[in-house]
Amino acid sequence: SLGIRLVGGSEVHEGRLEVFHDGEWGTVCDDGFDRRDGNVACRQLGFSGVEKYDVYAFDTYGKMVSAPIILDDLQCTGNESRLQNCTHNGFGKHNCGHGEDVSLTCISNIRLNGSGPCDNYTPLNESWRNIGQVNDGEQNKCDSGFETKWYRFMEPAGFSMPEEAPPSKNRCGTDWPMWMDGQHPNITEGTVVRTVCAYRGNESYNRCRYSQDIEVRACRAGFFVYKLRRPPYDYCNLAYCAETKDIDACAVFDPCVHGSCVDGINNFTCNCHQGYAGHRCDTDFNACSMCHENATCIDNPAPALDANCTCKAGYFGDGLVNGTGCTDINACVANPCHANATCTDNPAPALDASCSCNTGLTGDGLANGTGCSDFDACVLDPCHPRATCTDNPAPALDASCTCKAGYGGDGLPTGAGCCPMTTSGAGSSDITCLPTLASVIIVLFASKLPIFK
């Protein structure tokens, strides 16, 4: 059996991931390791899944130096019940250093929403608890400090309490190993009471030298929980033991909620009915991956395998990834703008467009508003007072200035303006612009004429 544990963490649900193979503990290389592998490992440890996985966590969990690297290139699908069921290079085959050791933080069972003992329990995963561990009689592990609450045995301790007395007394870290006298319940029996015995020898009176009652329950997720309390008498050499024993998980736990169960060695596989997914077929298959990113999805409950996809506001289409998807609705198609305006669609989720009058025109640009009118440049008084202003049609932004009758010039206030016209001979006209006082003074001073005498 492949044991598994988390080492170096401050809590039981975190630490460096280690596996037990061929008599020794070793690490797992991060090559190819992803969340699917982490979920399998955390579920094997009794947690609901992985919260995060990491490498190079020496400062937090310490670094293995002499131990081997046992697993590399794990390729779990995420539905396996144990790491050894996943594809890998082979035990001990790797191209890694300990700088690539994987560490995990599993989702703690304390955070689960369930209120029953199958959801809230304390793990017992010390390797010395395994009934196969033989000691020299000098070890005195004990559970005298136990609180009365629900516990679960997990690897490398084992999966369940032994139902038979151990072959010798120096087992599971003590010389008073404790075993369960009676069979484990199945899922339909609920919580049952069993007797736990402290073993001292093969004599009939020593096989159950001390005893007390405990509670046991089979959990549908595929494990047992035990309501244990402090062992009888305050001897610090009585300890609860566990063993790794293959159990017909399908018959005992009925673990597959919506599927058929296939029993394996210390594991099970669920073949899910249509519309269901998950390790125990307890999750409605979520078909929302078929919806476009700009669509809202409502998954149709099992046994349906599809979902209803509806494009969000501002988009149109069938909402499917493999269909027309969801395209931004072009509000300009409805011709909301005036004929002389430019239409720009506002991106979703907006359902309208922006209308801008073309050059030389003014207005709100809307077909049902003020529209777009020619901008009258004459309102800016661009012409000389003695000139007539005529607006130049769009797209021009200026006006034409024409001097009135009897005046000549360019008609611009910043130009020649408009000056009176005089007749200087038969049929000929000259433009005579009378100078202003300021211009006369400038000219006279320039000529140095003594006009003030």
Closest listed residue to residue 36, CA positions, set 79, 1, 84? 79
Taking the domain 288-328, which CATH number applies? 2.10.25
Domain-wise residue ranges, the chain: 1-112, 114-245, 253-284, 288-328, 331-374, 378-446
Say what the pLDDT of residue 60 is: 62
Say what the pLDDT of residue 243 is: 94
d(CA 146, CA 154): 17
Say what the pLDDT of residue 397 is: 87
Q: How far is CA 390 from CA 53, 122, 397, in A?
A: 79, 94, 12
Whether cis (ω within 30° of 0) applies to the bond prior to 382 is no
Closest listed residue to residue 180, CA positions, set 228, 251, 117, 122? 228
Taking the domain 331-374, which CATH number applies? 2.10.25
**How far is C-alpha 288 from the chain's CA centre?**
15
The CA-based dihedral angle spanning residues 249, 247, 267, 55, taken in that order and rounded to the nearest 10 degrees: 130
Q: What angle do CA 11, 16, 18 make, to 5 degrees?
A: 115
Same fold, 288-328 and 331-374: yes
Per-residue pLDDT of the chain (453 residues; tens, 9 = 90+): 447 888 877 777 888 898 888 888 888 998 888 888 988 888 888 777 787 877 766 556 766 667 899 999 999 988 887 887 899 988 888 888 888 888 888 876 543 334 588 888 999 999 999 999 998 888 888 888 888 899 999 988 999 999 999 988 899 989 889 999 999 999 888 888 999 999 988 787 788 888 888 999 999 888 999 999 888 776 678 999 999 888 888 989 888 888 899 988 777 888 988 888 888 887 887 888 899 999 999 988 888 888 899 999 999 999 999 999 999 999 999 999 999 999 999 998 998 999 999 998 999 999 999 999 988 899 999 999 999 999 999 888 899 999 999 999 999 999 889 999 876 544 445 555 544 433 333 333 334 444 333
Say what the pLDDT of residue 63 is: 66
225, 192 Cβ separation under 8 angstroms? no
Tally Cβ neighbours within 10 Å of residue 371: 19
Under CATH, which architecture does the 253-284 domain have? Ribbon (2.10)
Pairing of the two strands 69-71 and 24-28: parallel
d(CA 44, CA 25): 16
Say what the pLDDT of residue 162 is: 96
Q: How far is CA 212 from CA 153, 172, 340, in A?
A: 19, 19, 95
Taking the domain 1-112, which CATH number applies? 3.10.250.10
Say what the pLDDT of residue 423 is: 62
